[in-house]
Amino acid sequence: MEAILALHGIFQDEKTMGKTVDITSLCMKKVLVIGGGGREHAIVDAVSRSPQVGKIYCAPGNAGISAQAECVAIKDTDVEALKAFALENAIDLTVVGPEVALAAGVVDAFKAAGLRIFGPSKAAATIEASKDFAKQLMAKYNIPTAAFETFEDYYAALEYVKKGSFPVVLKYDGLAAGKGVVIPETLEEAEETLKDMLLDDKFGKGKVVVEEFLTGPEFSFMCFVDGKEVYPMTLSQDHKRAYEGDKGPNTGGMGAYSPVPLITDEDMDFSLEKVMKPTAAAMVAEGCPFTGVLYGGLMKTPHGPKVIEFNCRFGDPETEVVLPRLATDIYDIFSAVADHTPMPQIEWKKEVTMGFVMASKGYPGDYEKGYEIMLPESLSDVAIYHMGTSLKDGKYYTSGGRVLMVVGFGADLQEAHDKALAAVESIGCENLFYRRDIGWRVL
């Protein structure tokens, strides 16, 4: 009998006074997720589905995440405090969400301390932290992208822009939370933007990449990457502009869906073979092998898919529509990358997803915080990922620019859209806005 119980990881001894103790729970993995937005909520949610994981911490997390993980009040860039926490709590695996944590070198510090961590080194994270680095890499390795030129000098940049056509794309060469790209239609506007970026250093001291304006639908191609090995995720599409009809300023993303029917298998093959795999190989050749999620922001131009940007991490809000569709145990995937061991077959569910971001009025500019949010009691076929919320006396309040990502599930995108939109409309808050036209390209 004891042998059978032991086989099932169950035993009794004197110390437990006859109570049954499940020893498998003692071997369950402890995971730390770094970050506190909707992306991290979706990562925590996916990790919570792993039968191997017994405890999830999230630093700093948010009000929504606290229902699924123990939130620890450590800033995502406080590398020393994060490392100390992981060591003290014998964390088995850490997963990094935000680019700022990666750019702060959290992966390098954890590895040096012998800790297992999923994410790229600080050197590899440069593919996102510096637009110029990414563009030079693509130019060197013939990875399809828009023509460009980089400038440090305001007058030289202005001269170049004067000679080109409009609209023109101006990208600040540094992390700017999705707000460092401006697409002026006129010379006056371009002059003003260049002044902000190069003379007044509004985003910080840095260079500007001046880029050819491309056209076509965009899609987000996230891949798990371990050096030269590239494992594609299912595709998604973000909606970057703040207002309906793709109008208004660029944001971190106002909604997303997965998969993306207007991207053919051929486009996907091209993007994997001519973009993502060569980029991973280029990073190895440059001495900064990438491990983690390499995010290709691609555009299907009349001349085929081209790179708009690379990110060194899961996209937000793309993660919130992609990870719920993952059928494989994500702990195994993270482990394969972190340990450089064989990757399991990655499977996706047939069920599709569409999600609407609810943002504070004024976002991506200035906005107020602290408005109460009334969430419906129960929702079927909908997941609500918290992007910027806080909890006080059992009530949720807005605490960020993007506040909630409401994801609907369905047999097709129309069904997922309708489920999500109905849920969005049932959420009460006087200071939130959202785009009703998420998915307009495919519905």
Residue 92 binds which one of ligand AMP, ligand GLY, none, with CB within 5 to 8 A depending on kind? none
Between residues 97 and 252, which has the closer beta carbon with respect to ligand AMP? 252
Between residues 240 and 386, which has the closer beta carbon with respect to ligand AMP? 240
Binding residues for ligand GLY, rule CB under 6 A, total 8
**What is the enclosing helix (H) or strand (E) of 227?**
none
Q: What is the CA radius of gyration of the chain?
A: 22
CA pair distance 270, 424, nearest whole angstrom? 36
CA pair distance 376, 175, nearest whole angstrom? 36
Give the strand pairing for 382-386 and 304-311: unpaired
Q: How many other C-beta atoms lie within 10 A of the C-beta of residue 131?
A: 26
- Tokens representing residue 103 in the block: 């750019």
- Tokens representing residue 340 in the block: 């450089």
Q: Choose among 130, 308, 147: nearest CA to 204.
A: 130
Task: Please report whether residue 320 would count as binding ligand GLY according to CB under 6 A.
Answer: no
Stretch that binds ligand GLY, among 308-316, 353-361, 396-404, 426-434 (CB under 6 A): 308-316
CA pair distance 169, 146, nearest whole angstrom? 10
Terminal-to-terminal C-alpha distance of the chain: 59
Per CB under 6 A, the list member of 76, 78, 226, 318 interacting with ligand GLY is 318
Cβ of residue 314: shortest distance to ligand GLY, in angstroms?
7
Are 135 and 209 in contact by the 8 Å Cβ rule? The answer is: yes
Cβ of residue 315: shortest distance to ligand GLY, in angstroms?
3
Between residues 308 and 383, which has the closer beta carbon with respect to ligand AMP? 308
Report CA torsion sign: 409, 263, 403, 423: negative
Between residues 57 and 219, which has the closer beta carbon with respect to ligand GLY? 219
Task: Please report whether residue 316 would count as binding ligand GLY according to CB under 6 A.
Answer: yes
CA pair distance 210, 307, nearest whole angstrom? 15
Cβ of residue 419: shortest distance to ligand GLY, in angstroms?
22
Per CB under 6 A, the list member of 35, 36, 178, 388 interacting with ligand GLY is 178
Are 69 and 44 in contact by the 8 Å Cβ rule? The answer is: yes
Cβ of residue 266: shortest distance to ligand GLY, in angstroms?
24
Cβ of residue 150: shortest distance to ligand GLY, in angstroms?
21
Between residues 45 and 316, which has the closer beta carbon with respect to ligand GLY? 316
Cβ of residue 199: shortest distance to ligand AMP, in angstroms?
22
Q: Choose among 23, 81, 434, 77: nearest CA to 256.
A: 434
Q: Choose among 233, 186, 187, 212: nearest CA to 349.
A: 233
Task: Please report whether residue 315 would count as binding ligand GLY according to CB under 6 A.
Answer: yes
Residue 109 binds which one of ligand GLY, ligand AMP, none, with CB within 5 to 8 A depending on kind? none
Residue 173 binds which one of ligand GLY, ligand AMP, none, with CB within 5 to 8 A depending on kind? none
Between residues 75 and 179, which has the closer beta carbon with respect to ligand AMP? 179
Report CA torsion sign: 233, 239, 240, 242: negative
- 3-state DSSP call for residue 258? strand
Cβ of residue 236: shortest distance to ligand GLY, in angstroms?
9
Between residues 40 and 128, which has the closer beta carbon with respect to ligand AMP? 128
Cβ of residue 336: shortest distance to ligand AMP, in angstroms?
28
Cβ of residue 213: shortest distance to ligand AMP, in angstroms?
4
Between residues 42 and 157, which has the closer beta carbon with respect to ligand GLY? 42
Are 437 and 379 in contact by the 8 Å Cβ rule? The answer is: no
CB neighbour burial string for 280-295, b if at least 16 within 10 angstroms, e if fewer: bbbbeebebbbbbbbb
- Tokens representing residue 318 in the block: 């793309």
- Tokens representing residue 319 in the block: 């993660």
Report CA torsion sign: 142, 143, 147, 151: negative
Chain contacts with ligand AMP (rule: CB under 6 A): 146, 169, 171, 178, 181, 211-214, 218, 240, 250, 297, 308-309
Between residues 232 and 252, which has the closer beta carbon with respect to ligand GLY? 252
Residue 318 binds which one of ligand GLY, ligand AMP, none, with CB within 5 to 8 A depending on kind? ligand GLY
Between residues 132 and 316, which has the closer beta carbon with respect to ligand GLY? 316
Per CB under 6 A, the list member of 36, 97, 174, 253 interacting with ligand GLY is 253
Give the strand pairing for 389-392 and 291-301: unpaired
Cβ of residue 164: shortest distance to ligand GLY, in angstroms?
26
Q: Using CB under 6 A as the criterion, which residues of the chain lie in contact with ligand GLY when the complex forms?
A: 178, 238, 252-253, 311, 315-316, 318
